[in-house]
Structure 1
């Protein structure tokens, strides 16, 4: 029986991480755009990736310092806001990072540097900046760390997808643009 500092190791074992659900993708969406009209809250504009049942951790990382980071932009429309979110099989949205708001006079943009979504603890952490500009990873801006807890009704035991969705909408129309390039999206 092997020992380590006088402790017997007969009841313990080390195992490798479970990689049955390992998935890697590098989505490239250079200027996807959706125009909407009327009250369309909850509308999913684009699905960046899907994840199988049993996924425990999702990681989004920017891979280039001299290219624009992933972002969501509302170019027109007032009384609306859009989010990057994890969507469960029932359509429940779990927000990642800050919301981006639209107004009649100014565009809104949320830039994403990285995000970690932990489905076991029910927490996600994201570095982002919300303003009216687009940024590189090495831009001299105040990246904000945003944490969002899993909604009570969110089902982690089914298939999931990372989406751009409208969180709220007035009766006006508008446009949401989304970009994701130079990004690694990994899940286990």
Structure 2
């Protein structure tokens, strides 16, 4: 199992969401005033979101991020790959649509801000990594399940004599003619 397995990347996503929930409860400005975050804001020409440290909405965001982390953590403990194979592509599409809409439509300031676009880009990146890892693991499982086991040494076949070849041809003709009669 490689470093970028679907399990490891999903654990990273759970940790990422848990950190966001903690930051919402502790002080959201540790994220919003981060130098890298502000650099992306300027580079993408987005308005910067300014929030007080003790806003009432931050508690709700902390609960939402915690539930999203828990939503991935429980199936991860059960090794439920079917769940992840079905939900990750839907999640990837949803975050791509929201992020593209938030970035392109500058009139809607609810979605056109640095927090929504950068969070959406992080989710797209993480879910794309999970998606590709799941696809590779599914291909590996298919190869293992459908491989043909060969003997150690292939069987050496002796060439047929003319008489044996003629006998096989006669049998094939008999079988062909009997199946035509039915």
Band of TM-score, shorter chain = under 0.3
> Which of 1 and 2 has higher RCO (CA within 8 Å, sep 6+)?
1
What TM-score, normalized to structure 2? 0.21
Query: Which structure: greater helix fraction?
Result: 2
